[in-house]
């Protein structure tokens, strides 16, 4: 079971895809680093980690290394469970490109 971790939301989804769809429908988040508007939850975290450095993330969100590790683990769990790009496509969210031909050059 996948519980929505966003404060004040008691939603629980049967699978990761349902959770991401829920977050895209119900939760909105403005990136604290670059002010891009995204769904809260997985997509917001993924954006923060793909588009910004961990240092920027920690500064903007007042997070520490444990917070980062926890969120990285959450992102990994979602990505292991669902084809995120397909869901993003369906809910009309633009993903930072970690896929595609440039993937191997990412460091």
- In the list 13, 18, 21, 31, the residue contacting Zn ion (rule: CB under 5 A) is 31
Q: Is 4 in the site for Zn ion (CB under 5 A)?
A: yes
Neighbours of 13 (CB within 10 A): 16
Q: Is 33 in the site for Zn ion (CB under 5 A)?
A: yes
Residue 6 or 95: which CB sits closer to Zn ion?
6
Residue identified by tokens 């997985």 is: 42
Q: Hey, which residues between 5 and 24 contact Zn ion (CB under 5 A)? A: 6, 9, 11
- In 8-106, which ranges are continuous DSSP H helix? 16-26, 42-51, 54-61, 65-81, 84-91
Q: Is 81 in the site for Zn ion (CB under 5 A)?
A: no
What is the Cα–Cα distance from 12 to 16, expressed in whole angstroms? 10
What is the Cα–Cα distance from 25 to 3, expressed in whole angstroms? 15
Q: Is 63 in the site for Zn ion (CB under 5 A)?
A: no
Footprint of Zn ion on this chain (CB under 5 A)? 4, 6, 9, 11, 31, 33-34, 36, 51
């Amino acid at each position: 079971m996948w519980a929505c971790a966003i404060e004040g939301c008691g939603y629980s989804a049967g699978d990761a895809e349902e959770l991401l769809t829920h977050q895209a429908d119900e939760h909105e988040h403005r990136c604290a680093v670059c002010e891009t508007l995204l769904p809260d939850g997985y997509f917001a975290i993924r954006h923060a980690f793909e588009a910004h450095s961990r240092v920027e993330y920690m500064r903007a969100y007042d997070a520490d290394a444990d917070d980062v590790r926890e969120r990285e683990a959450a992102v990994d769990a979602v990505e292991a469970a669902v084809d995120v790009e397909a869901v993003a496509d369906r809910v009309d969210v633009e993903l930072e490109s970690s896929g595609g031909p440039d993937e191997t050059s990412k460091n």
